[in-house]
Amino acid sequence: MNKGDHPNFTDKDQEIQYWKNLAEQYFLDADRIQKESDEFISESQQLEKEYEATIDQNEKKIKELTIANNRLQNEVDSYRIKIEQYNKEVNSLENEIVTYKNDKMQMTQYIRELEQKNDDLERSRRIIEESIQGIESAFNSAIERNAILESEVDEKETLKEKLQRLLDERRELQQELQVKERCPDNERIVNGYKTPPIVDSNRLKENETQTTPSKRKMQRYKTFHKVTAFFRKRRFNTNTTM
């Protein structure tokens, strides 16, 4: 402190009191500074301990985070490999989808062609059925006409047979009459023995001719049923094929 900084004293007591007060002030300042220094040192030590604890915790966290980071990095690498595999699978599936779409388009076109062919076959089947119906109708009409003609022919045959039978009976009666005139017992004596009555061969033919028209008629009916069954079977096979 410079001398010019000191005040001018009038007496020694005043100067002593001044210096005494100044010393007390210095002591107070020194105590305050010492206390502040002690507090600062204490706080610094406390902060140092806290910082050391924080550093230890941070180091532990850093180690844990490093381990977690390494683990996550490994997981990321594993996921990256899986993603690459998934991308390959997705590309393969996309290619399969494109192939399936192409196959679907081809199948759709093929189904349309089959439907068109089916429609054509259906029209052909209807035409064939109509033709078969026309043929069956014509055939049935022809069979009916044939049956009528055969019936007329059978009637003519029956009349001819009746006429022939009457002629045979007339001839037979004439022969019997001649035999009776020769032999009253309707027997002939040959070498001293009686012979049986004469059997007319025309009567045997008459018996045969009486059954012949009915047999022919049965054969015609059988032929008609066979032909009808044939056309029905053919129509059924045509419907099944369609």
Global pTM value: 0.34
Domain ranges of the chain: 35-115, 143-213
Please report the pLDDT score of residue 223 as a whole number: 60
Which segments of the chain have a pLDDT < 70?
1-7, 183-242
Please report the pLDDT score of residue 218 as a whole number: 58
CA distance linking residue 82 with residue 94, whole number of Å = 18
Please report the pLDDT score of residue 189 as a whole number: 44
Please report the pLDDT score of residue 135 as a whole number: 84
**Are 220 and 150 within 8 A, CB to CB?**
yes
Q: How many residues does the chain have?
A: 242
CA distance linking residue 232 with residue 227, whole number of Å = 9
189: β partners? 194
Phi, psi of 31 (to 5 degrees): -60, -45
